[in-house]
Amino acid sequence: MISRLHLAALVLVSSALAAGPALTTIQDVLYKADGTRFNGSVTISWNSFQAADNSSIVTQSTTVKVVDGVLRVQLAPTTTATPQINYSVTYISDGRVQSQETWSVPAATQPVRVRDVRVTASATSGSSSGSAASDTGSNTIAETSVVGLIADLGARPLKGAGFASGRVALVDPTGMLASVTGADSD
Task: Report the candidate in 2, 159, 23 with the shortest Cα–Cα distance to residue 80.
Answer: 23
Task: Report the candidate in 59, 67, 64 with the shortest Cα–Cα distance to residue 37.
Answer: 67
For residues 88 and 131, what is the distance between their CA atoms, to the nearest angstrom? 7
What are the angstrom distances between the C-alpha of 99 and each of 7, 14, 180, 186?
A: 52, 42, 43, 47
Please determine, looking at this structure, whether the domain spanning 21-150 carries the CATH number 2.60.40.10.
yes
Could you report the per-residue pLDDT of 161-171, keeping only the tens digit for each? 888 887 888 88
Query: Confidence class of residue 31 from pLDDT cuts 50, 70 and 90?
Result: very high
Could you report the per-residue pLDDT of 38-55, keeping only the tens digit for each? 999 999 999 999 998 989
Question: Taking the CA of residue 81 as centre, how many other CA atoms within 13 Å lie in the half-sphere pointing to its CB?
Answer: 29
| pTM value surpassing 0.85 | no
State residue 123's pLDDT score.
53
Could you report the per-residue pLDDT of 59-81, keeping only the tens digit for each? 999 999 999 999 999 999 999 88
Domain with CATH 2.60.40.10 in the chain: 21-150
